[in-house]
Chains A and B, each alone.
Chain A
Amino acid sequence: MSKGLPEARTDAAMSELVPEPRPKPAVPMKPVSINSNLLGYIGIDTIIEQMRKKTMKTGFDFNIMVVGQSGLGKSTLVNTLFKSQVSRKASSWNREEKIPKTVEIKAIGHVIEEGGVKMKLTVIDTPGFGDQINNENCWEPIEKYINEQYEKFLKEEVNIARKKRIPDTRVHCCLYFISPTGHSLRPLDLEFMKHLSKVVNIIPVIAKADTMTLEEKSEFKQRVRKELEVNGIEFYPQKEFDEDLEDKTENDKIRQESMPFAVVGSDKEYQVNGKRVLGRKTPWGIIEVENLNHCEFALLRDFVIRTHLQDLKEVTHNIHYETYRAKRLNDNGGLPPGEGLLGTVLPPVPATPCPTAE
């Protein structure tokens, strides 16, 4: 039986068949390109429909984490993004609940449905981040949580009898809220993003952008971008993962012009010009959330949900998760890459997060 497919040869050579079967992983032969349009309709493109149906039946998971100091409007923004009360606002805490002493991680899941597509949305909130007097290492619980989700997925994947659909709790996207000081990034911001941009997709967001005028906004954005670049922080969409030229040009535009998005969140509706819009009412006017002239919320929403949702998941799965997995399996005595899982030992999950620096 012919293992190791030979290159496409002429008919005469086709009769060269490997005599004895040797268990070699079959390498694909160089494919012969045939344009079947000329010869009649086969129906291969129906696979798109089939795939769509299948994915609609399967449903989707999406896990979004919001990080930022309290009072920056994180929960409001998430509620505005998903047009529903998916995040419990801090202002609705009971009087007895104090500000947490350390960073807590709270994950709440909801199922939302639209157009026949069911999505399980999990919003991971991080109350207490940056709120203490001494904020050293306050990103560590967050890093630990993210790595724990990777660990959970890895354990499931490595099982012998595994589930048909491994539940995906890995953080696909982390919205980092920057305080609209108008000056520059704070050391805490830089430290956090430096540590976490290697394990998760970070999307920096300038919160409460209604406190800045247009010029202040664009200056601030430029300064933030500059600082991020100087510090070597790669936020999503990362340059190195652009797959083709089309992606690159599209993402370049986003990276260099729009990010970080300056947003305003609101869940109250007001009447403007005869339409009901989400907005914030101030003595000097109503700030419309979805108006591109007022703030960039619509850009953020389109970016995260309408165009790059799947890509966020894929980068998490194909790149961040794989990096974690490789590191985890390699941690045991520097086996050369390519060596199998079998014959290695998984050390116990470290108490401190795995080192993220390569």
Chain B
Amino acid sequence: MAATDIARQVGEGCRTVPLAGHVGFDSLPDQLVNKSVSQGFCFNILCVGETGLGKSTLMDTLFNTKFEGEPATHTQPGVQLRSNTYDLQESNVGLKLTIVSTVGFGDQINKEDSYKPIVEFIDAQFEAYLQEELKIRRVLHTYHDSRIHACLYFIAPTGHSLKSLDLVTMKKLDSKVNIIPIIAKSDAISKSELTKFKIKITSELVSNGVQIYQFPTDDESVAEINGTMNAHLPFAVIGSTEELKIGNKMMKARQYPWGTVQVENEAHCDFVKLREMLIRVNMEDLREQTHSRHYELYRRCKLEEMGFKDTDPDSKPFSLQETYEAKRNEFLGELQKKEEEMRQMFVQRVKEKEAELKEAEKELHEKFDRLKKLHQDEKKKLEDKKKSLDDEVNAFKQRKTAAELLQSQGSQAGGSQTLKRDKEKKN
């Protein structure tokens, strides 16, 4: 890989110069490692498998601890992912472990879309990393990497072959994540059936073109062990957190009436192999593959989707500038258009409002005029009435004075008579 990079550079005109003494840069890997140790590592595992296959138990067994979580029921309406992060510490190494588990996988009646939430979750992690990488001000070296480094696919121990759901899901996931298939609850299968099952599974995977994760064999120190392990895939595992006393040691095991299955016994199951491979030998390689292969692929697809290209059809390199320029102009043009639209709408609205207000004003004026007219009519009427009343009053007064005159004349004559009568009464 990159050892050849340096070798290539040597060929390109850099000479190898012999050292005349101890310089001291062989401490460089130590410096690097110390830095990483102080920052801590992170590792994210995704467990995909049907409900009840022992995913949580296996995680507990692998990491020697009891993680939180309740077992899921079979009645989930859709596939969901449940994710938990734990800080593990061993000697001076701190590991941020994230375990993501599928809940409800394989329980629905219609499983066509079961793989979708998983793929979306993995893509979302890549997307988050990509966003961070594309930011102007970014802090990549302290970024908590949430991309999935390893996917443990739990195969049900039917003993026959892979289910079609398994094939479909694995096919969708193989280009996005490192898949390590494992046979769960393998104490349900006998040894002979197991070998046949494994062969069947590997042949089915090959014939369907599913690329599972191969342990790397290019580094001499691990090539041998990785090579042999590759032949044992998929691992048949058993998980158990219960410790039983066997011989004179406490071991993790499952007790049956017909015997005890020991988890860490290589003759009983491949758990030890899985732990070796996953944690003790290849953890770094898993992380690297995720970053350099799966993430780069995602990034490339995503950027191409957005319209960026490295070379145009004539395979002249497209300058990034031009692409950005074009995109930016497009974007600006859109913005301008939107602005225009908004402005137009605003003007329209103002016009409408104005018209309304004018209408209202007109109405008010009319009303005022009407009322005024009414008022004037009323007033006139009242004045007429008043006038007529006055006339009547005058007429009455006249009649009254005339009547009084007459009466006073008459009473003078008759008045004396009344006086006489009164006098007679008195007497």
Name A's B-contacting residues (CB within 8 A).
1-3, 5, 8, 11, 14-15, 17-19, 21, 23-26, 28-37, 39-48, 50-60, 62, 81-86, 109-120, 155, 158-162, 164-165, 167, 244, 301-302, 305-311, 314, 317-318, 322, 325-326, 329-330, 335, 337-348
Contacts and interface: CB of A to CB of B under 8 A. Distances in A.
A32 B68 contact: yes
Interface residues of B, number: 108
B412 interface: no
Contact of B9 (A29, A39, A109, A347): A109
Interface string B17-30: 11111111111111
B29 to A, nearest CB: 5
Contact of A120 (B6, B120, B325): B6
Interface stretch (B123-131, B354-362, B370-378, B395-403): B123-131
Nearest to B252: A40
B78 to A, nearest CB: 8
B117 A21 contact: yes
A342 B327 contact: yes
Contact of B62 (A33, A42, A111, A155): A42
B164 interface: no
A34 B88 contact: yes
B2 interface: yes
17 contacts: A2-B80, A8-B68, A11-B70, A34-B65, A34-B89, A42-B63, A44-B93, A51-B33, A55-B33, A82-B19, A82-B23, A118-B6, A160-B303, A305-B23, A305-B24, A341-B136, A345-B327
Given A109-B9, A330-B136, 6 more contacts: A36-B65, A48-B33, A51-B284, A57-B219, A111-B10, A164-B1
Given A44-B95, A112-B23, A343-B331, A28 B85 contact: yes
A26 B18 CA distance: 50
Given A21-B121, A59-B3, A338-B136, A2 B83 contact: yes
A256 B25 CA distance: 25
A331 to B, nearest CB: 10
B24 A25 contact: no
B208 interface: no
B16 A165 contact: no
B86 A162 contact: no
Interface of B: 1-3, 5-6, 9-10, 13-33, 35-38, 41, 62-65, 68-70, 78-93, 95-96, 98, 103, 117-118, 120-121, 123-125, 127-128, 131, 134-138, 140-141, 144, 146, 219, 221, 275-276, 279-285, 288, 292, 296, 299-300, 303-304, 306, 308-310, 320-321, 324-325, 327-328, 331
Given A28-B98, A338-B135, A84 B19 contact: yes
A243 to B, nearest CB: 8
A189 B14 CA distance: 32
Contacts of A308: 31
Q: A-B pairs with the 7 shortest C-beta distances?
A: A115-B26, A25-B128, A50-B284, A310-B31, A1-B81, A43-B280, A39-B64
B284 to A, nearest CB: 4
A111 B14 contact: yes
Contact of A59 (B2, B88, B123, B131): B2
A123 to B, nearest CB: 11
A44 B16 CA distance: 37
B133 to A, nearest CB: 8
B2 A58 contact: yes
A44 B87 CA distance: 12
A195 B321 CA distance: 29
Nearest to A306: B24
Contacts of A53: 219, 221, 284
Contact of A339 (B88, B91, B98, B136): B136
A345 B85 contact: no
Contacts of A35: 88-89
B188 to A, nearest CB: 26
Given A44-B90, A47-B283, A311 B31 contact: yes
A117 B28 contact: yes
Given A29-B83, A32-B86, A50-B285, A83 B328 contact: no
A341 B62 CA distance: 41
A86 B16 CA distance: 10
A161 B310 contact: yes
Contacts of A346: 320-321, 324
Given A160-B304, A344-B328, A3 B124 contact: yes
A307 B64 CA distance: 36
Contacts of A40: 64
B217 to A, nearest CB: 13
Nearest to B329: A345
Given A45-B92, A306-B25, A341 B134 contact: yes
Contact of A45 (B90, B276, B281): B90
A318 B25 contact: no
B1 A57 contact: yes
